[in-house]
Amino acid sequence: MQTRPCRGNQTLGKEATIARNKIQRRVQAAILGDAADPEAKDANSRHAESGLSISAAQKESVQAVLLKCRGAKAPARTSDEQKAPARTTYGMTEGFEIGPGRRTGTYTVATPLQHLLTDGHEKGATWILKEVGVQCLVRRARINMSKKVAVQLITLFLLLYTRGVAGEDVTVFSLQPDIWEAPRDDVFLRFNMSLQQVAASVSEFSVCSRVFPTALTTLQVLFSYATADSFSNALMMYIKDGRHSFRYNNVPQRILEDVKVPTVLRRWRHYCHVVSGDRYAAFIDGAEVASGPVQVDNRVLPLNGTLVVGQEQDGLSKKMDKRQILKGFVAQVNLWSYGLPGHVVASIANCERNDRGDVFSSDRLASGLELINVDSMKKPVQDLCNRNETFIIFPEKRTFMESVKICALFRMKIYAPADTEINRELNATMWREGFCAGTINMWIGVSDEMEEGVWRRFSDSRVITDINFAGGQPDNTREENCMAMAGGEGVWADYGCREKNIACVPCAERVSIPLYMRGICTEMRTETMFEVLGYTASRPFFHGFHGYMLTSERNDWHLLDTVANRSLARLTLPSRNVYPIGKHQWTLASPICDQPVGSELVISLSTCETGEYMCDSGQCIDVDARCDAKDDCDDQTDEDDCSVLDVPENYRNFKPPKSVENPVTALPLDLQFNFLRILRIEDVQQAIHLEFTLSISWFESRLRYLNLREDIHANKLSPAEKDSIWRPRLEFPNVQDGELKLLRDDVFVKKLNNSLPFDFNAVGMDNVYSGDSALLVQVQHYSGSFVCRFNVYYYPFDAQHCSVSLQVSSVSKDLVSLSEERTSVLFSEDSTLPTYTIGNFSSESSNYFGRESGMKIKYTLTRRYTLIVLSVYMPSSMLLLVGYSTLYVKVELLQVRLVVSLTTLLVLYTFFNQASSSLPQTAYIKMIDTSGDVGRRSRVMVSAEGLLRLCRLVVVPVAAGIFMVVYWSLILS
């Protein structure tokens, strides 16, 4: 059959034709070994390193097809080629599909092509088949080789088009990376989407970029895509105060806003947003951090607008704002017309592959990408994933133990180079900056204290073997367990850790742990963040994430604002060896926090995070160690100013607070009355001596509380704090003779809810609780006698109903109220008393007190009659029997009768007198009603009179009759 050269689509545009020809050259060079395209040849060699392979027979078949397309013959295999292994490293395994291999930085072709097309590459494959001319190769493949090899060939096209080769260079763009420069609004990348020829619009897409920020702005905008002046947020990815946001057709995807990612500078971070089907997913550094339904009604994204990288456009390619920019570097900005699988995003983020977007890629500069005041450079893609160790040298000479402490203040450890090359860099930095001269230059963060001769780094316990020892070193293998750079040549020597030798100290930098400057009234938390950077005047300086600078001049430190180009404050320290870490009084050079120039302002600088407390020295401790009666700070400042109250200046302690439930109603008080013991019951005096505690709780909405603990007793107010706030004063109207002793008077704070969001400007770093997050609890311990009107009519079978009356003093019940629903009564002792049993505890609101709110705590005393029956009634009955027994004595012995009868009467009188003396005097025979209620008194009096009438008219005559019958019967018999 006659063959003819392959032809692509004759209607291709210029850009598509260039792309087609380039891809064809790269594929042909990769498969045929064509040296005409050096880029493809180099790509082929790197592709071979990636572990992809094609059999020699398949290679020959592909070569034959391509040569036929070019009108040439395939070369015959030499004898050496025939002996060669069955597989060479060209691009495919027999499975011929791109899929994740082992985590070795490579990907293999592992499953059928159909899976590749459904794995997100269908549109890319369609474009290649249509625009690059692969259909000719497929047609030739059907004639000259198996379909399997043809499919492999198409897959190779996909691989080379959509996936860059691992290790190749990427373009890195600089967007105002200078931290000393003020932000500008005329630095950005721009691309006209109308130049792309993939699609007019998409409803599925993936947009990714890799960012290296050097500073932050109010709105850190990674990219902005506008389709019209009125639709400037068709796509937008930005970060504000550490919160990530992504807008799709001007609608924010809310599920991303709750993602918490540490804010760091000077580290590459990869972002990717994927819309596939009805699902949106966000990836940071290859990890999926948020996913859910797409939160937008109109899913169509037109591809005819303007993409701007590094600025927010408030119109179509206009209205830039210098506060809404990206400062730093950016690379690998890509837009695909389909959703990338998660494992592909992870591979790109980990620099295992370098896929380029089919719609847009920042690595295709010829596609029409505009660089507005932007510089570009080439970097190996793997460099974007390297995490190089960094260090900062503190040039002041210190002992080893002092050096450990200065590094610890910055959450660092003494640095140790991992090899001689890094050691030379450390030594070069020392010489370049001109410090650390002397016999001992710098301490090195290694020790062999755990195992003699095995030097381990402080930072990660890694064993260091590549050590450039000075001559004769180490010279004391037992006592000298620390290391220092000595002699100025970068060589190491061992020294004693606790000796008085002094040297500079390099600290291993931890990018993820910033410092925080508190007290300057910033609007965003990230504005308080600082990092230790290079050197000015031979000392490290502190760089604020939003453009503040902290530099030194002799003993002075200056706080500068590089954005506004002004000096803010000055601090003078007693020595050059001291850094502005901790809490200090700064003198203002510009107004801050509404304070005028020249005034003093307390500002702190430390690495302390939320949940920690900063000592005045800058040391960080757990916030629970604050005011725990133990000195946890080295300077012991954690036990200073341990107040749990934050009282506002306009607080009035004579006014009760408003109810948090309903401000127009009275403040409800929760009352708990706890009977501790009944000390004495005086029947005659009608008084009961009690000991009890009274606990009153209420919300004080005007206050705020500090550093509350779970244990209420740890939140006790001092006497001065008690006097500074309003609290209820109580009166007890039924106390006997007004004598009531207050044995204890304490006020506690009971934590109910979590603290308020942390105030990143608060120098004190206290946990603050709102007034409705805690209860004030007043606990008072009383002892005194209370009047109880006894009703002894049924003595000794009586029960006395008593109460303790109390009222809120001098406050109207319209402002403060007691209620039965909020009152509880407790009695924790044995209810059985010597002469009574106590029970029936209850509470009752009382309006007896007029304008003040009152409460009665009621209880019942039931007399224990057993003892009285045994000690009074039984002896009396026996005496009566003895008296009656004299009637059986003969009349002739009248004197005996009289003596016995009189004696019996005298003893009975004694019993009667004794019983009467232990009871209150009454006008009736132990039947007096003192309840005070007229109706009730009437009913009780009727009952008493009826009982008397029954005794007089029935009981006594019947008993007398029975007695007379028995008596005369005996006499007559």
| pLDDT tier, 559 (very low <50, low <70, confident <90, very high otherwise) | very high
Closest CA to 544 of 263, 811, 840: 263
What one-character DSSP code corresponds to residue 851? T
Burial 166-192 (b: 16+ CB within 10 A, else e): bbbebbbbbbbbebeeebeeebbbbbe
Q: What's the pLDDT at 949?
A: 66
Q: What's the pLDDT at 923?
A: 58
Q: What's the pLDDT at 156?
A: 52
Q: Which residues contact 403 (CB under 8 A, 6 or more apart)?
A: 394, 414, 443, 503, 505
| pLDDT tier, 921 (very low <50, low <70, confident <90, very high otherwise) | low
Q: What are phi and psi of 543, to 5 degrees?
A: -105, 120
Q: Which residues contact 871 (CB under 8 A, 6 or more apart)?
A: none
List residues bridging with 716 in a β-sheet: 748
Whether the pLDDT of residue 63 is over 50: the answer is no
Whether the pLDDT of residue 13 is over 60: the answer is no
Give the CA dihedral 145, 146, 152, 153, nearest 10 degrees. 30
593 φψ region: left (φ > 0), alpha (ψ -120 to 50), beta (else): left
Whether the pLDDT of residue 250 is over 60: the answer is yes
Closest CA to 377 of 170, 537, 218, 110: 170
Instruction: Name the residue with higher pLDDT: 739 or 674.
Output: 674
Type of residue numbered 45:
S
- CA angle 563–564–566, rounded 5-degree value: 115
Answer for the pair 504, 488: CB distance below 8 angstroms, yes or no.
no
Closest CA to 670 of 637, 697, 707, 644: 697
CA distance 535 to 394: 10
| pLDDT tier, 548 (very low <50, low <70, confident <90, very high otherwise) | very high
Distances from the Cα of 160 to the Cαs of 129, 166, 219, 456, 512, in angstroms? 14, 11, 37, 45, 37
Q: What is the pTM of this model?
A: 0.72
Rank 686-690, 846-850, 870-874 by mean pLDDT and report only the highest: 686-690
Give the CA dihedral 414, 417, 423, 428, nearest 10 degrees. -50
Q: What are phi and psi of 700, to 5 degrees?
A: -115, 90
Q: Which tokens hold the place of 265?
A: 């500078």
* 317-328: pLDDT as tens digits: 888 889 999 999
Q: What's the pLDDT at 489?
A: 82
Q: What's the pLDDT at 73?
A: 39
Q: What are phi and psi of 88, to 5 degrees?
A: -125, 165
Closest CA to 734 of 806, 680, 817, 681: 806
Instruction: Name the residue with higher pLDDT: 21 or 920.
Output: 920
Q: What's the pLDDT at 216?
A: 94
Instruction: Name the residue with higher pLDDT: 373 or 19.
Output: 373
Distances from the Cα of 274 to the Cαs of 122, 283, 336, 348, in angstroms? 16, 8, 9, 14
Helix (H) or strand (E) holding 507: strand 503-508
CA distance 603 to 454: 44
Q: What's the pLDDT at 366?
A: 66
Answer for the pair 27, 54: CB distance below 8 angstroms, yes or no.
no
User: Exposed, middle or buried by CB within 10 Å (0-12, 13-18, 19+), for 99?
Assistant: middle
Instruction: Name the residue with higher pLDDT: 514 or 158.
Output: 514
- CA angle 126–210–225, rounded 5-degree value: 65
| pLDDT tier, 46 (very low <50, low <70, confident <90, very high otherwise) | very low
Instruction: Name the residue with higher pLDDT: 950 or 287.
Output: 287
List residues bridging with 57 in a β-sheet: none
CA distance 925 to 92: 118
In the three-class reduction of DSSP (H, G, I as helix; E, B as strand; rest coil), residue 426 is classed as helix
CA distance 778 to 718: 13
Answer for the pair 161, 128: CB distance below 8 angstroms, yes or no.
yes
Mean pLDDT to the nearest integer, 28-50: 41
Q: What's the pLDDT at 947?
A: 60
Q: What's the pLDDT at 562?
A: 92
* Percentage of the chain modeled with pLDDT above 70: 78
Q: What's the pLDDT at 901?
A: 79
CATH-assigned architecture of domain 667-863: Distorted Sandwich (2.70)
Closest CA to 504 of 390, 365, 393, 649: 393
Q: Which residues contact 290 (CB under 8 A, 6 or more apart)?
A: 253, 255, 256, 258, 259, 281, 282
Average model confidence (pLDDT) across the chain: 79
Whether the pLDDT of residue 392 is over 80: the answer is yes
| pLDDT tier, 21 (very low <50, low <70, confident <90, very high otherwise) | low
Closest CA to 624 of 813, 433, 755, 515: 755
CA distance 898 to 893: 9
Whether the pLDDT of residue 639 is over 80: the answer is yes
Distances from the Cα of 949 to the Cαs of 837, 930, 945, 959, in angstroms? 32, 22, 6, 15
* Percentage of the chain modeled with pLDDT above 90: 44
- CA angle 712–718–720, rounded 5-degree value: 145
Whether the pLDDT of residue 28 is over 70: the answer is no
Please give the radius of gyration of the chain, using alpha carbons only, rounded to the nearest integer: 47
Q: What's the pLDDT at 325?
A: 93
Instruction: Please report how the helices 894-917 and 874-885 are oriented relative to each other, as an axis angle in degrees rounded to 10.
Output: 160
Label each residue of 339-405 as H, E or C: CCCHHHHHHHHCCCCEECCCCEECCCHHHCCEEECCEEEEEEHHHHCCCCCCEEEEEEEECHHHHHH
Q: Which residues contact 797 (CB under 8 A, 6 or more apart)?
A: 863, 865
Q: What's the pLDDT at 834?
A: 85
Q: What's the pLDDT at 118?
A: 34
Q: What CATH code would you report for 391-508? A: 3.10.100.10
| pLDDT tier, 922 (very low <50, low <70, confident <90, very high otherwise) | low
Pick the CATH number of 169-384 from 3.30.565.10, 3.40.50.10740, 3.40.30.10, 2.60.120.200: 2.60.120.200
Distances from the Cα of 684 to the Cαs of 509, 690, 789, 790, 937, in angstroms? 84, 17, 10, 9, 21
Q: Which residues contact 663 (CB under 8 A, 6 or more apart)?
A: none
CA distance 121 to 353: 15
List residues bridging with 670 in a β-sheet: 697
Q: What are phi and psi of 62, to 5 degrees?
A: -65, -40
In the three-class reduction of DSSP (H, G, I as helix; E, B as strand; rest coil), residue 508 is classed as strand
The residue with tokens 């005369």 is 968
Whether the pLDDT of residue 105 is over 70: the answer is no
